[in-house]
Amino acid sequence: AMHVEIADDFDKRARGLMHRTELADHHGMWFVYAEQRPGYSGFWMHNTKIALDIAYLDEQMRVVKTFTMRPCTSVNSRNCPSYRPGKSYNSALEMPAGYFAKHGIREGVQLQQCENKE
């Protein structure tokens, strides 16, 4: 099971996983939006220090696109590439780079939300 922090407001989504130097195994962040996001709206790695996998999810939590994103070391955020899914999405899941390949998470896979068991 994945353990994710939920980024469900503007500030949490804007900060994301910036400035962190590590993520524990099976830990990540789930970016949740109130409405569908367009495919040209992507994520970037400005001020992000660790490589991440990202999965863009539709309203059924089916993976529409994945990327492995590398840290962007430029001080100018305009020099950081944006990873755009090219398809609309309702949420995005970030995990440590390599996690999706290791666990078979790819386009078309449906994820399930489980209740917090802590």
Euclidean distance between CA atoms 66 and 63, whole angstroms: 7
Which segments of 17-106 does DSSP mark as H helices, in order? 99-103
Q: What is the pLDDT at residue 51?
A: 97
Pairing state of beta strands 27-37 and 3-7? parallel
On whether the CB atoms of residues 70 and 82 are closer than 8 A, the answer is: no
Question: Edge-to-edge, what's the strand order for the sheet holding 63-69?
Answer: 3-7, 27-37, 89-96, 52-57, 63-69
pTM: 0.94
On whether the CB atoms of residues 73 and 81 are closer than 8 A, the answer is: no
Quick one: tokens of 24?
Answer: 């524990």
Print pLDDT tens along the chain (118 aa): 899 999 999 999 999 999 999 999 899 999 999 999 999 999 999 999 999 999 999 999 999 999 999 999 898 989 999 999 999 999 999 999 999 999 999 999 999 988 765 5
> Residue 16 CB: number of other CB atoms within 10 A?
21
